[in-house]
Structure 1
C-alpha cells in the first residue's frame, strides 16, 4: 500500500478513537491532547509528524506538557466533564505542584516512545504510542505522589518524635543529681544559712545539736565526761 494512503487511513482511525483529542494540523501532522487519569487531572500532548516513508520509518515524535483542549470542530460541549475538572478532589497533604509533569519528564517519555516506534516499524503505530504515553505519564505522576507521600509521612513522624521528647525526662545519674543539688543549694544559699545557725564550742569546732548527738550515740558519753569533770572540781 502507498505510504500516503496508509497515513490517511491511520489518521481516519485515530479521529474515530480520539474525536475530542486529535488536533489536525495538516494531512501529515497532528497533535493528540491526552487526558491523564491522575489527581489532579493533567494533560500531555503527543505531536506526530509523518515522514514520506512512514510507516516504513519511525514518525517524528515530540511530547510536551499539555492542557485541556476543546475541539473547535465540535459543537457539542460536555458540561459534566468541565464540572469534573473543576470539582476534582485534591490529595491531602500533597501540594499539586509536586505532581506536575515537567520538561525533564517529557524528554524521558520521548525516549520511551522512540524506542517503541522502532519496535513497530512497518505498521501504523500511533495508537500504540499514544497508549504507551498515557500509561508511562501516569506512572511518572504516581511516582511523584509516592515520593511526596513518603516525605510527608517522614515529616509527621519527625514532628511526633519531637512532641514525645516533651514527655521524656532526662535519666538521673549520681553526677546529674549532685550537680542539681549543688545548683539548688547555691540558688537558695542553703550553705550560708547553715553556717549562720551553727553553734561553735570553745575550740572553734561546730557544736552538734542534741538530735545530732543522739543520732551519733555520743550524747551520753559527753554527759559522763562532764559529770566526771564536775566531780573532780569538787572540794571537800
Structure 2
C-alpha cells in the first residue's frame, strides 16, 4: 500500500533543497500546502523579469492525483499570459500522474515564461520596425510627391474643369456688369452739365483789369532796346 503522506514529505524536502529561497510551506496537516516563486533562468538583466508565485495544494492521494494549482502573484504578465501558463501546468500535471511532479511543473513554467518573454521582445522589435518602415515610407512619399495614375489624373481633371467652368461663369457675369465709357457718361448727368457750362463760357467776353499792368517804361525795357 502506497504511503502518500511519506512520499509527499520526501518531495517537499527535495523541493526545499532545490528552491531554498523560493519555497514556503504554509500547511502540513492535514495536507501539504506550499508556494513557490517561479522565475525564468538564464535571462539577461535587461529583460523584463516576469515571474509567478504558484500555490500547490496536495490531497490525500497525491501523486496519483494532480495537485490543486493556483497563481497567487505575478509580475509583467497579463491575464491572457497567466491563462496560458495555467493551461500548460495542467497539461504537464496530467502527463505525470502517478509520479512526484512539482519539480517538473515548476521547470515547465520557467520555460514557458522564458518563451513568453522572448515572444514579447520579438513583438516589440517587430512593432518598432513596422513604425520605422511606415515613417520612412511617409518621408519617401513626401520627397517623391504624389504619383500620378489614371485615377488620380481623372479626378484632378474633373475638379479642374469644374473650377474653370465656375471661373468663366463669374468672368462673364463681371464683364456683363461693367459699363462702357459712353454708358458711364450718359449715366452721369453732372458730366453733361459741366461740359455745357464750359461751352457756354467760351461765348462770353473776357474782361481784363488794366490796372494790373504797368507801362513798359516802368520796367526800363525801352532803354535796353535802344542800347
Counterpart secondary structure, 2:20: coil
1:11-26 matches, within 5 Å, as 11-26=12-27
The 2-side partners of 1:105 and 1:23 are apart by: 24
**TM norm structure 1:** 0.56
User: 2:83: which partner in 1?
Assistant: 107
Shift, 1:65, TM fit: 3.9
Change (3 A) 1:45 1:161: same
Name the Cα RMSD after superposition.
Answer: 2.6
Give the match for residue 34 of structure 1: 38
Please state whether the residue corresponding to 1:36 is helix, strand or coil: coil
Normalising by structure 2, we get a TM-score of 0.58
Structure 1 stretches lacking a partner, 5+ long: 68-99, 187-236
Deviation at 1:25, TM superposition (A): 0.6
CA–CA separation in structure 1 for the residues paired with 2:148 and 2:107: 65
Per the TM alignment, residue 171 of structure 1 is displaced from its structure 2 partner at its CA by 5.7
2:62 maps to 1:66: no
Structure 1 residues 13, 167: closer, same or farther in 2, change over 3 A? same
For residues 179-214 of structure 1, what are the alpha-carbon distances to aligned partners after superposition, in whole Å with 9 as ceiling and x for unaligned?
7xxx9xx9xxxxxxxxxxxxxxxxxxxxxxxxxxxx
* Structure with larger Rg: 2
CA change 1:3–1:168 in 2 (3 A) is: same
Helix, strand or coil: the match of 2:62? coil
Q: Which residue of 1 aligns with 2:55?
A: 47
Q: Structure 1 residue 127: deviation in Å?
A: 0.2
Q: Deviation at 1:42?
A: 2.1
* CA deviation profile, 1:100-146 (whole Å, cap 9, x unmatched): 31122212211111111111111100000000011112212222222
Q: Report the 3-state secondary structure (helix = DSSP H, G, I; strand = E; otherwise coil) of the residue aligned with 2:61.
A: coil
Which residues of 2 match residues 198-217 of structure 1 at below 5 A?
A: none
Shift of 1:168: 0.8
Higher relative contact order (CA 8 A, sep 6+): 1
| Cα deviation, residue 170, structure 1 | 4.6
State the secondary structure of the residue aligned to 2:143: coil
State the Cα deviation string for residues 144-181 of structure 1 (Å, max 9, x = none). 222222121111100111111222145689x88xx7xx
Distance change (3 Å), C-alpha of 1:53 and 1:171 = closer
Distance 1:52 1:171, change over 3 A: closer
Q: Which runs of 4+ in 1 moved over 6 A?
A: none
